[in-house]
Amino acid sequence: MSEVVIIGGGATGVAVLRDLALRGIPAVLVERDDLASGASGRNHGLLHSGGRYAVIDPVAAAECAQENAILRRIAPWAVEPCGGLFVEVGADDPGYVPEWVLACRKAGIEAEEISPQAALEQEPRLNPGVVRAFRVPDAAVDSFRLVYGTAAAAQSLGARVYTKTEVTGLVVEGNRVTGVRLADIPTGEQWILDAELVINAAGAWAGRVAAMAGISLPVVPDRGTLVVYNSRLANRVINRLRLPGDGDIVVPVGTVTIAGTTAVSIDDPDDTRVPPAEVEQVVALVAQMLPELKDRRRLRSFTGVRPLFDPGEAVDAGTDRAGSAAGVSSLATRQLSRNYAVIDHARRDGVAGLVSLLGGKLTTHRLMAEKAVNLAVARLGVRAGCRTATEPIPAPPPVREERTTAGGGAIVCECERVPAEDVLQVAQGLARIDLGVLRRRARVGMGTCQGAFCGYRTVGILHSRGLVEGLQAETLLCDFLRERLRGMGPAPDGYQLRQAELARAIYTGNLNLDLGTGKGGS
Amino acid sequence: MPASHIRRLADYDVVVIGAGLSGFMAAAAARARARSVLVIAQGLGVLPLTTGCVDVLADPADPWAALSRLVERLPAHPYSLAGLAAVRRGIDYFLGTCESYGYPFALAPGRNLLLPTLLGTLRPTCYAPTTMASGDLVNTTLQTAGTVLVVGFEGLLDFHPGLVVEGLRRRLPEVRLESTSVALPLPAENDNTPAMYLATCFDKPEYRKLFASRLEASLRGRFGTGRTNPDVVLLPAVLGLDDPVAAARDLEHRLGARVAEVPLLPPSIPGVRLATLWRRHLLRAGVDLVLDARVIGAGSARGRITHVDAQGAGGTARYGGKAFVLATGGLAGNGLCLEGSRLREPVFDLRMAPDVRPGTGSGPGILAGPDLRPPGYDNLFACGRILSGYDPYAEKCGNGVAIATGWRAGELAAGEAEGGAGGGASD
């Protein structure tokens, strides 16, 4: 039997890979960039309690509640169980609250009301005008580590992962997809992978993959803009207690706080430009919940592209289970379903050997993968139950040993306290060194200096251990700094301007590198 | 506190706001004209962010010839506002003063020095402290014979000798390059070895002796028959704060090779040395310094600044002056701040300049006329990074512009305080 090929290395793709591996089905995952480089790594880092969806999408809400509990069990190392608050501030519709309380109860979400005073004691930066507050079991999640850990778990069971590998076409024989055409991006080398079944988990790019088999899929790339602050400005996740909208979630994750977001449908999912107006909009809105966010130090802003879909078009004979907001076909993307659909193209389009996953969100990615693999095993004629909800996922590197503070090893990044050991641990497991991967996995360059200090140290350490050669070190460093500078550009605050100035002073001024930063150049 | 309750502490001929390189130069220029001078500063300037060299312009051929052309071509460039003659006067004074404190600078006649960086790139600069100048590998006999040894310290993450060697090899293929790392006694409680700590170590002869012996041990046999020593040793720029020239000479003697420092990531020790040297010089010259004080307000009458109010640890005090110099720096030095989405000069609320050289990376700055006067006040002069119209990083002219415009602003302020026109020195 040949293998199942999964297209897309986001949370869903790796969860499908692990699910197949646990059921003993040979599987390969191909990803054109790095794992978690799409929406799975470009989000709030929020493990939803489900409260956000309780009123508008009760099925999604109940699924969030279940999956939240499952992820805490199977990947505790990726979850920061900080809890969450839903807060009603002045000007919010008080009529929404009783409806929300009832919906939470129905969805099985524990929402416990606390007094405004108690909320302010627990979250001193909250708007003092908070009217009502509810505690919910939200959590922060390191989505990078979750994705890497899930992939590594699958690999330890024999599954394979090819990153920097782009799908250039599908092999279609008659009315059946039998393989994928691939290109290794760094070398340009082309090859074909035979597939028993192809699972399209390409997120916002899923429409492009389906089009390679002549199939039209109603994917709506939907941009969300997020703003990163340099410290933890809340103890728990803060949600606005009203109908979901823009700028209504603030998540403390690791050493930073991520605030967002917006929802704007776009044409090109590769467009990661950050519109300054959206940054300003997010800051203004989240500051209604936490007024200090107006002036606190920002690190950068970024966008993620949600793979929304129009259930009105997706729901038909081929759909295993569509989003519960089915029937809504307005292009106002806030009204499109945040739920998901697993599409069997044999039934929907008469093309066998291809299954697509549409929509979805980080919190419920495991469940969506389970449904897709259930369909896959039925198609493959295999009997094997899903074990992903109970089998724990081992933590991926860098796994920090218990360290004593004295002589704890050199620190590459003082902002995030990243030891050189972590960088090396991750780098040694990579076939190809990529500072973006080191950043996502070891958090180098994530913090306040945005790579200005740790950038040089990282390439220096890699070079001294023979992991990169000199020219490569220089190229990696320049690319890394350009990318970091780009994220400081849109609607910067004073700190970002100063930080970017410092980076230019060091690298363009003192090291004479041409970073060609937007305005720069020599 | 209501303005009327602020105590007027003292009056000066010239009040300089800011204690970075341009503020130091302005104070020195005014003091050299026998004016009473006060420097008020919130911080200690951004000299430690620089390499501690004096860049004039990046032009690899002749930076001074390039400067003459630039002044013709770009009238809004800070160099042009200062005027070529003042640039020379300022730099001469800077170099002479540094030398008189035992910290001389060197140059390569008719061209820029090309000094190695911690990445193994080459960086053009016009004047470098002698502790760095031997790093200029371009015009030496090394191209035909000789070896450059790049030495790192184990545990110092901010300098990777192997990376330096590979970078230099690509740029200077004819030079023979080697690298090594030396283990030195380091503070065990520190995760990273701070350059500042190493610099204080290298102030001590016994530490230098230890370093030299460990280096020699690690090199034994490395340089083969007939040779035991490299010709040039490149080291992280941590050779002391007190007397780096003597420290370098001592090491040269011990190692039998020329020694050159390579500046590290900020805070750079050579930058710290300059800040210390100039603070000492101003105090010795009779300039008053009020540090850790922020100017929070100013008074003016008939288009002239009359006083500034400075808030420090002891409260708020008022300082009167006949002329004022604004040397508060750019974004990195906090001379400009962002209010909402608008950049602002917070002391006098001066007008920001339009971007006169779009697409060149010239940073934001205030508008200033040909005599460095921001519009609105007759007795105010601006200098250094707060000026617009240049890109210190790509053009390689940061410290050069700071010295030139600082010196010129000090001259003009001294002239203004005297009641005369111009700065006394004619251009």
Residues of chain A with pLDDT > 70: what percent? 91
- DSSP-based three-state secondary structure for B380: strand
CB contact under 8 A, A471 and B265: no
Q: Which of A463, A477, A519 sits opposite B162 (nearest CB)?
A: A463
Question: pLDDT at residue B410 above 90?
Answer: yes
In this prediction, residue B425 carries a pLDDT of: 44
Q: Which of A280, A501, A510 sits opposite B363 (nearest CB)?
A: A501
Residue B81 tokens, joined: 């506002």
In this prediction, residue A491 carries a pLDDT of: 79
pLDDT in tens, A148-204: 999 999 999 999 999 999 999 999 999 999 999 999 998 999 999 999 999 999 999
In this prediction, residue B142 carries a pLDDT of: 56
In this prediction, residue A1 carries a pLDDT of: 54
A79-93, A213-227, A490-504: which has the minimum mean pLDDT?
Answer: A490-504
CB contact under 8 A, B163 and A460: yes
Residues 483-502 of chain A with CB under 8 A from chain B are 491-494, 497-498, 501-502
Where residue B139 falls among pLDDT bands split at 50, 70, 90?
low
Written as one string, the DSSP assignment of A499-518 is HHHHHHIIIIIIS------T
In this prediction, residue B156 carries a pLDDT of: 85
Q: Higher pLDDT residue, A158 or A407?
A: A158
Question: pLDDT at residue B230 above 50?
Answer: yes
Q: What is the mean pLDDT of residues A211-224?
A: 93
Exposure string over A79-91, b if 16+ CB within 10 A, otherwise e: bbebbbbbbbbee
List the single residue in B with minimal CA-CA distance to A517.
B361
Q: What is the mean pLDDT of residues A418-447?
A: 88
Average of per-residue pLDDT values in chain A:
89
Q: Which of B121, B123, B157 sits opposite A461 (nearest CB)?
A: B157
Residue pair A367/A50 in contact (Cβ under 8 Å)? The answer is no
Residues of chain B with pLDDT > 70: what percent? 91
Nearest to residue B178, comparing CAs of B241, B234, B114, B129?
A: B234
Q: What is the helix (H) or strand (E) element at residue A58, kind and residue range?
A: helix A58-74
Separation between Cα atoms, residue A173 and residue A198, nearest integer Å: 13
Where residue B146 falls among pLDDT bands split at 50, 70, 90?
confident
Q: Beta strand A340-344 with A256-260: parallel, antiparallel or unpaired?
A: unpaired
Question: pLDDT at residue A518 above 70?
Answer: no
Residues sharing a CB contact under 8 Å with residue A190, sequence separation 6 or more, in sequence order: A168, A181, A182, A183, A184
User: In Å, how far is B275's CA from the nearest CA of chain A?
Assistant: 18
Mutate to test the interface with A, among B46, B119, B164, B343 (most CBs of A within 10 A): B119
Whether A404 and chain B come into contact, CB under 8 Å, resolves to: no
Dihedrals phi, psi of A309, to nearest 5 degrees: -145, 160
In this prediction, residue A353 carries a pLDDT of: 96
Residues of chain B with pLDDT > 90: what percent? 72
Residues sharing a CB contact under 8 Å with residue B199, sequence separation 6 or more, in sequence order: B238, B239, B240, B241, B269, B272
In this prediction, residue A8 carries a pLDDT of: 97
Q: What is the mean pLDDT of residues A80-91?
A: 94
Where residue A321 falls among pLDDT bands split at 50, 70, 90?
very low
Total count of residues recorded for chain B: 427
Q: Which of A463, A470, A492 sits opposite B170 (nearest CB)?
A: A470
- Taking contacts as CB-CB distances below 8 angstroms, the residues of chain A near B337 are 494
Where residue B2 falls among pLDDT bands split at 50, 70, 90?
low
Whether A93 and chain B come into contact, CB under 8 Å, resolves to: no
User: In Å, how far is A407's CA from the nearest CA of chain B?
Assistant: 6
List the single residue in A with minimal CA-CA distance to B53.
A510
Residue pair A288/A89 in contact (Cβ under 8 Å)? The answer is yes
User: In Å, how far is A258's CA from the nearest CA of chain B?
Assistant: 20
User: In Å, how far is B424's CA from the nearest CA of chain A?
Assistant: 34
In this prediction, residue A204 carries a pLDDT of: 94
State if pTM tops 0.90: no
Q: Which residues pair with B86 in a beta bridge?
A: none
Where residue A401 falls among pLDDT bands split at 50, 70, 90?
low
Cβ-Cβ pairs closer than 8 A, A with B, add up to: 136
Whether A277 and chain B come into contact, CB under 8 Å, resolves to: no
Separation between Cα atoms, residue B133 and residue B150, nearest integer Å: 15
Q: Which of A412, A420, A491 sits opposite B341 (nearest CB)?
A: A491
Whether A407 and chain B come into contact, CB under 8 Å, resolves to: yes
In this prediction, residue A323 carries a pLDDT of: 39
CB contact under 8 A, A519 and B117: no
Nearest to residue A299, comparing CAs of A231, A223, A253?
A: A231
In this prediction, residue B190 carries a pLDDT of: 54
Residues 26-55 of chain A with CB under 8 A from chain B are none
In this prediction, residue B63 carries a pLDDT of: 93
| Backbone conformation region of residue B224, classed left if phi is above 0, alpha if psi is from -120 to 50, else beta | left
Where residue A330 falls among pLDDT bands split at 50, 70, 90?
very low
Question: pLDDT at residue B38 above 90?
Answer: yes
Question: pLDDT at residue A55 above 80?
Answer: yes
Separation between Cα atoms, residue A27 and residue B280, nearest integer Å: 71
In this prediction, residue A314 carries a pLDDT of: 56
Question: pLDDT at residue A522 above 80?
Answer: no
Whether A474 and chain B come into contact, CB under 8 Å, resolves to: yes
User: In Å, how far is B177's CA from the nearest CA of chain A?
Assistant: 14
pLDDT in tens, B171-190: 988 888 999 999 887 765 55
Q: What is the mean pLDDT of residues A476-485?
A: 90
- Taking contacts as CB-CB distances below 8 angstroms, the residues of chain A near B360 are 519, 521
Question: pLDDT at residue A520 above 50?
Answer: no
Residue B241 tokens, joined: 């704060």
Tokens 């608008």, located at residue: B342
Nearest to residue B310, comparing CAs of B287, B285, B292, B327?
A: B292
Nearest to residue B26, comparing CAs of B283, B327, B377, B388?
A: B327
